[in-house]
Amino acid sequence: MPTTKRCLTESDANRAIGGVPTIHYFDFQSRGRGQVLRLLWEDAGIAYEDIRYSFQEYPEYKKTRIAGMNPTGHIPVVELNRRILTQSYAILRHFARQLGKYDGETEEGKYWADAMCDIGIDWRTLFVNAFFSPQKDKTYPEHCETVRPRFLQGLETHLKTHDLSKTGPYVLGKSVTYADFVIYQVLHDEGLTQDRRKGMKDYPRLIQLVDAVESRPNVKTFLQSDRYLG
């Protein structure tokens, strides 16, 4: 049976987005595309209902409950105020606009946050393919040798050189955006934010971003809470 948990207390930010969202996602620790949504909600102080499916039970629910909400059968799916929201990155951008923050203030900033997010999307797709492959023993080490350093170096260079990013710590300098959570979460899921950032030692600008995200008061509280599952 999927588990359901209510997280945080309803706030003004819930009113700004129109209620308390319910997320349907895997019970995959604090990882995956669904976790990026939870991270944004935690940061914004948005109460949410967390429905988690084990990997074993998901195929059955995918054909029934999830397919009834999302014709592609993919998760995360969010229910909010009798609406169904699908596609995690579109959902992030939607909430950012509703909250009036997390996506930059100028057109140039919005473009740059979207572009950096899209690099995170490309990286995650390749990570998931390698990590969940039936030949994981071969594909994941290959990924870590080839694809992963390419994305790390690409993001590092962008962050160090783009006018909007180079002062840091975030993609848009001093203001956090949803793109920072997307980048943070793929680094986390690749196991690079742990062990004193050992796997990121050649990427100091990315370490700066990770440190800044983890130091945000609500994110810090979340990481120390029993809602954080590793």
Q: Judged by CB under 6 A, which of 31, 65, 74, 94 binds ligand GSH?
A: 74
Q: Which stretch binds ligand GSH (CB under 6 A): 45-53, 68-76, 136-144, 198-206?
A: 68-76
Q: Which is nearer to ligand GSH, 86 or 208 (CB)?
A: 86
Residue that is written with structure tokens 């004193």 in the block: 196
Nearest-approach distance from CB 215 to ligand GSH, in angstroms: 27
89 in contact with ligand GSH (CB under 6 A): yes
Task: Report the residue count for the chain.
Answer: 230
14 in contact with ligand GSH (CB under 6 A): no
Nearest-approach distance from CB 86 to ligand GSH, in angstroms: 6
178 in contact with ligand GSH (CB under 6 A): no
Distance CA 160, CA 165 (A): 7
62 in contact with ligand GSH (CB under 6 A): yes
33 in contact with ligand GSH (CB under 6 A): yes
Which residues partner with 85 through β-bridges? 78
8 Å CB contact between 46 and 17: yes
Distance CA 191, CA 160 (A): 22
133 in contact with ligand GSH (CB under 6 A): no
Residue among 219, 161, 157 at smallest CA distance from 193? 219
In order of 8, 90, 161, 172, the CA distances from 106 in angstroms are: 31, 19, 19, 10
The residues of the shown chain that bind ligand GSH, judged by CB under 6 A, are 32-33, 62, 73-76, 87-89
